[in-house]
Structure 1
Amino acid sequence: MQNLITASQIVALAAMAVTVPSVPAFARETGYSLRTGRASGAVDLVEVALDVGGDLRIVEDGKERRMKTNVAANFVYHEKSLQVGKGADSPMRSLRHYREAVGTIKSGDHQYEPVLRDERRLIAVEIDQPRVTLFSPQGALRFEELELIDVLANSLLLEQLLPSRAVALGNQWEHSNELIAALLGLDTVTSNDVKSTLTEVADGKARFELSGRVEGAEDDVSTEIALKGKYQFDLKTRRITWFGLLVREDRAVGHVDTGFDVTARVQMRITPGAHSEHLAPDALANVPLQSTAELTQLSYESAGGKWRFLHDRRWFVITEEDDRAVLRLIDQGDRLAQCNVAFLAPAADATELTLEQFQKDIVGALGENFKSFVRASQQHDETDYRVFQVVAEGETSNVPMQWIYYLVTDRHGHRVVLAFVLEKEMVDRFEQADEKLVGTLRLSEPRE
């Protein structure tokens, strides 16, 4: 697809400043009513180009170092409005079919190119400010797929930037913390002075500029943002048809993510009145259009393809190798737990290891940190896997801890061990998240 951002347009975005032109007398007297004409059932064609560049901030051994990073992505999708907000903070829903979703991410010497699988190109969007949720009615997304498509300036949200009252040229209006959080993909915004300005009405278009500074947080990690943007409203269709945004963000290092100091540029073209056979009523007859806990789960497959499972969006992969991975559970900025997963060498006799021997191995692994067992059990689950579960308690550096161990063995002797580690005070908030994850674990069948 042709890159939607030209060099001259990038320069124009970077140099933008809010200007207030002279105000004609008729505009001062009457003002312009610029309410959206978006209606439920309408379909748009949306084209997006995203470019991000700057530094990742990585803390190693208590010292921060920086690494160059660059992201370039392009998207083309049809979007069907399902629920149109009647007020500034009303819930909104849409359904998209992605024709194109490609990206290239470079960090230091590493590069990868995430793509959206063909079987996940149908994406539902739900907005209940400040929360924005993307999921596929076709099944669980992978983390890298969600990260690819969940970009700045969600197209379903843009017309919430329009003024709620008639305005004259040069008039400005503020935007709520909830709207700015949703626009920038943040959990919370604590303060913002972002304002939009009506700068021109000509040739059937109303043109706006916005700018300001934002302080907020994502996963309880603080961030500071400066933004400038422009958008264009078609007076005939009463829709925003072009949007450009320049964002400079400085985010601290968090529990699971690196910090960063980056500049992001996004440009979007929206063509109302489009058609897509993938979003036609017949095509959606049996498609679930509202989110559920099951549909918003993410799918993880080990780097070596030896196991896979589903997990809720509070789990983040920290490290991974062919036969092992480490995940952390982050809830409202708190690190609730860590999960260590390892693939073991196949057992010649799947019945050789007993539950009692597994408990002895756990005592040996925990050493002086071990205090007592809470419970131990053995069962065969619905996949006919043999599952050992052992819960132990103890202390680490005088902090009361709980360890939840699983050993899962299939009929071929393939084995995976999972160790969930959490402080004892987090047990109630953990809410048996181990059982939910392990219940979806699947070991890869050997190739014939």
Structure 2
Amino acid sequence: MFFMNQCLEAPGSGQLTSANYRLIRIVFHAFVGLCCFIDCWPVLILAGEQGVSRDTSSIFEIELSVTGKLKFPVGNDLRSGSLEIIEQPVHAHSNLIYRNKVDPDGSEQSSAIVRHYEHATANAAIGGDFVNTQLPQGVTDIHVCKHDKGLDFWFHEGFLTQPEADLLTVAFDPVYLAALVPPSHQARGTQWELNQDVIPDLLCIDTVHSGGLEATIIDRTAKSTAVHIQGSMEGAINGAATSITVEGDYDWITGDNSAGRVSMLQVVIKESRDVSYTAPGIDAEAVIKMSCRSQTTLQPRVVATSSNGGMSGYGRSRRGPGKPGFRWISDAYDRYDVVYENNWKIIEAGSEYLMMRFVDQGALVGQVTLTPLPLQSEVLTLSDFENDIEKTLGDQFGHLVSASTYSRDDGTTIMRVASVGEAEDLPFHWIHYHLRTVEGRRLSLAFVVESRHMARFSGADRQYIEGVDLTLE
């Protein structure tokens, strides 16, 4: 059961060695693209502001190196004015090699593309711990589509895990480079500000509150324009404040059409991010090298792996078919797996429980904890379940709102009990589930939502439960 203090807690320093899922998310979602070097050969084709890169004649290679530190809070209450921070050094490296493909299910006007990844791996050292992730063999053709929160990556044959999707996320993705087009027929020294709306997409953050990016033409010829770019911004990602500085240069080559293309871009980005309810803080700098070459001149480095794209690392089948906006996690002991919406963020994944938090537009809305239970032949009654919940909540229990039982086609019985109460003088809603298969496999789920956020939560527990599977195929 998770009450007020636990709903507002952040990952503690004692959890560093066990939270592999969380660590890989931190490194490759928080750091990817902080500093980049792009070298694009003339075969690179960029679409307009509303389009996407559809070049199918080139192979893109991206190498990322990160150096910095993670900031973990000591204690559970992030609201404390004297929050103590423990810092851990982090070093990370990733390598991506892909080419764009024609989407057999789309059209030239579609906002989605398909990237065929020849190679996608990443490794990180955080303190004394090492975390590795990669796209498994067979998980190669990844759909990429734009939405209001950036790019979404999904695999048609099965759902991607959060670490797999984060591995593919880079700042200054070619999809957005059309935003760097310089004004036409302007001389050396001309300055302009980049469109404020595209900056969060370029930097892989949620919002920019102040500041921006300014570009200056430093040289111009008949065929190319050399541009210097710099700026400082205050923004946010997943509810955490972040400060970012940017400085670098790029060359814009005038093409046969009015759009043109980036032939070279080198940008250094440094970021300082606060601790949030879903991740530690960071102070880091990264270097990304991106190149775009003809397929005839680049020999892809395909790394053999024993992983099967259709299976989890522990043998459980990857759920599918995949679709945009969803991720998949499989319990390490094959007791259950979950397909969930992107708004849910993994906080802890261990042998005893899985904790996730629901974030909406940067606000912490709710939390769920999944706890596997021992096999049991005796069937728990709804009345017994209600009594157990009231006893566990103790003085925080107010009154019962609803209780129900239903079954799925696969034989899984689901009990749902909703109640309200108070914790630290704040009203809360609790929603408890008990899932049981015909064979007696059981899973407990406890959702907690501050009452003022119930409208935003909007039945997210029911959709989450639909993605939970205890059956063994």
TM-score of the aligned structures, taking structure 2 as reference length: 0.76
Residues in 2 aligned to 1:239 and 1:261: alpha-carbon distance in whole angstroms = 32
Instruction: Choose from 168, 172, 176 the match for 1:149.
Output: 168
Residues in 2 aligned to 1:131 and 1:273: alpha-carbon distance in whole angstroms = 28
How far residue 424 of structure 1 moved from its aligned partner, in angstroms, is: 1.7
| Correspondence 1:253 to 2:275 | yes
| Correspondence 1:46 to 2:60 | yes
How far residue 198 of structure 1 moved from its aligned partner, in angstroms, is: 3.2
1:24 maps to none
Amino acid at match of 2:390: V
Contact 2:47 2:178 in 1 (8 A): no
2:90 maps to 69
Unaligned runs of 5+ in 1: 1-12, 17-34, 277-291
Contact 1:140 1:296 in 2 (8 A): no
Residues in 1 aligned to 2:46 and 2:359: alpha-carbon distance in whole angstroms = 38
Contact 1:243 1:269 in 2 (8 A): no
Distance 1:106 1:444, change over 3 A: farther
1:383 maps to 410
| Correspondence 1:139 to 2:152 | no
Q: Tell me, what secondary structure is at the counterpart of 1:156?
A: helix
Distance 1:128 1:307, change over 3 A: closer
Residues in 2 aligned to 1:313 and 1:231: alpha-carbon distance in whole angstroms = 33
2:251 maps to 232
Query: Could you give the per-residue CA deviations for residues 201-239 of structure 1, whole angstroms, max 9, x where no partner exists?
Result: 569654333222122111232111111223234456743
Contact 2:153 2:324 in 1 (8 A): no
Instruction: Choose from 317, 327, 331 the match for 2:356.
Output: 327
1:20 maps to none
How far residue 445 of structure 1 moved from its aligned partner, in angstroms, is: 2.3
**Range with greater deviation from structure 2 (188-197 or 366-375):** 188-197
Distance 1:294 1:99, change over 3 A: closer
Structure 1 residues 206-355: aligned runs within 5 Å: 206-235=225-254, 238-271=260-293, 294-347=323-376, 349-351=377-379, 353-355=380-382
Instruction: Choose from 128, 136, 145 the match for 1:109.
Output: 128
How far residue 409 of structure 1 moved from its aligned partner, in angstroms, is: 0.8
Q: Tell me, what secondary structure is at the counterpart of 2:113?
A: strand
Contact 1:346 1:414 in 2 (8 A): yes
**Range with greater deviation from structure 2 (435-444 or 252-261):** 435-444
Query: Could you give the per-residue CA deviations for residues 86-139 of structure 1, whole angstroms, max 9, x where no partner exists?
Result: 9xxxx9543211111111122111111111233432222333566333333333
Residues in 2 aligned to 1:129 and 1:440: alpha-carbon distance in whole angstroms = 24
Contact 1:304 1:321 in 2 (8 A): no
Query: Could you give the per-residue CA deviations for residues 43-96 of structure 1, whole angstroms, max 9, x where no partner exists?
Result: 24211111111111111123112110112111111125889999xxxx954321
1:418 maps to 445
Residues in 2 aligned to 1:81 and 1:275: alpha-carbon distance in whole angstroms = 21
Distance 1:404 1:162, change over 3 A: same
Structure 1 residues 113-192: aligned runs within 5 Å: 113-127=132-146, 131-192=150-211
Q: Percent identity?
A: 24
Residues in 2 aligned to 1:217 and 1:436: alpha-carbon distance in whole angstroms = 27
Query: Could you give the per-residue CA deviations for residues 1-30 of structure 1, whole angstroms, max 9, x where no partner exists?
Result: xxxxxxxxxxxx99x9xxxxxxxxxxxxxx
Residues in 2 aligned to 1:80 and 1:271: alpha-carbon distance in whole angstroms = 15
Distance 1:49 1:153, change over 3 A: same
Residues in 2 aligned to 1:296 and 1:129: alpha-carbon distance in whole angstroms = 12
Unaligned runs of 5+ in 2: 1-33, 38-44, 76-82, 299-320
Q: How many residues align?
A: 394
How far residue 389 of structure 1 moved from its aligned partner, in angstroms, is: 0.9
How far residue 413 of structure 1 moved from its aligned partner, in angstroms, is: 0.8
Q: Tell me, what secondary structure is at the counterpart of 1:194?
A: strand
2:100 maps to 79
Q: Tell me, what secondary structure is at the counterpart of 1:182?
A: helix
Distance 1:175 1:236, change over 3 A: closer
Contact 1:350 1:409 in 2 (8 A): no
2:12 maps to none
Contact 2:358 2:365 in 1 (8 A): yes
Q: Which has the higher contact order (CA 8 A, sep 6+)?
A: 2
Distance 1:206 1:165, change over 3 A: closer
Residues in 2 aligned to 1:228 and 1:84: alpha-carbon distance in whole angstroms = 37
Distance 1:248 1:41, change over 3 A: closer
1:4 maps to none
Distance 1:100 1:190, change over 3 A: same
Instruction: Choose from 37, 48, 57 the match for 2:71.
Output: 57
**Range with greater deviation from structure 2 (150-159 or 232-241):** 232-241
Amino acid at match of 1:304: Y
